[in-house]
Chain A
Amino acid sequence: MKIGVMAITVLKNLVKGPDTIRYPSQPAKVTEATRGHLVNHIEDCTFCSLCQMHCPADAIKVSRPDRTWTLNQFQCVICGCCMSYCPKDCLLIEQTYLPPTTEEIIVTLIGPDEEKPEEQRNGGNRG
Chain B
Amino acid sequence: MSRQIVVPFGPQHPVLPEPIHLDLVLEDERVVEAIPSIGYIHRGLEKLVEKRDFKDYVFISERICGICSFIHGATYCQSVEKIMGVEIPRRAEFLRAIWSEHSRMHSHLLWLGCFADSMGYENLFMNCWKVREKILDVMERTTGGRIIQGVNRVGGVSRDIDAEELKRIASGIPGLRADFTELTRIFDEDLTVQTRTKGIGMLPRDKAWDLGAVGPVLRGSGHAVDTRCTGYGAYDELDFKPVVRNESDCYARCMVRAEELFTSLDLVENAIDRIPAGDILTKVRGNPTGEFHARAEQPRGEVIHYVKANGKKNLVRHRVRTPTLANIPPLVHMLAGCELADVPVIVLTIDPCIGCMER
Residues of A within 8 A of B (CB): 1-3, 5-6, 9-10, 13, 19, 29, 31-35, 54, 56, 77, 79-81, 84, 93
Contact = CB atoms under 8 A, between A and B. Distances in A.
B56 A31 contact: no
A9 B127 contact: yes
18 contacts: A1-B190, A1-B191, A1-B194, A2-B190, A3-B190, A5-B185, A9-B127, A19-B130, A29-B140, A33-B141, A34-B144, A54-B56, A56-B57, A56-B59, A77-B59, A77-B148, A79-B150, A80-B150
Given A19-B130, A54-B53, A3 B140 contact: no
Given A5-B189, A5-B190, A6-B124, A33 B142 contact: yes
Interface residues of B, number: 31
Nearest to B183: A9
B218 interface: no
A3 B124 CA distance: 13
A3 B87 CA distance: 54
Contacts of A29: 137, 140
Given A2-B191, A3-B191, A56-B52, A81 B186 contact: no
Contacts of B185: 5
Contacts of B142: 33
A71 B53 CA distance: 21
A6 to B, nearest CB: 6
Contacts of B141: 31-33
Of the candidates B133, B144, B190, B191, the one having the most CB atoms from chain A within 10 angstroms of its own CB is B144
A57 to B, nearest CB: 8
Given A33-B142, A81-B56, A6 B194 contact: no
B145 to A, nearest CB: 6
Nearest to B188: A5
Contacts of B143: 33
Contacts of B191: 1-3
Contacts of B53: 54
Contacts of A5: 185-186, 189-190
Contacts of B52: 56
B133 A19 contact: yes
B150 A56 contact: no
A31 B60 CA distance: 24
Given A19-B130, A31-B141, A33-B141, A6 B59 contact: no
Given A33-B159, A35-B144, A56-B59, 4 more contacts: A2-B189, A3-B191, A5-B185, A5-B189
A18 B112 CA distance: 20
Contacts of A84: 158
Of the candidates B56, B123, B159, the one having the most CB atoms from chain A within 10 angstroms of its own CB is B56
A79 B59 contact: yes
Contacts of B295: none
Interface string B52-96: 110011011001000000000000000000000000000000000
Contacts of A54: 53, 56
Interface in B125-168: 127, 130, 133, 137, 140-145, 148, 150, 158-159
B182 interface: yes
A56 B141 CA distance: 24
Of the candidates A5, A32, A34, A54, the one having the most CB atoms from chain B within 10 angstroms of its own CB is A5
A35 B139 CA distance: 12
B145 A35 contact: yes
Given A5-B186, A56-B57, A77 B63 contact: yes
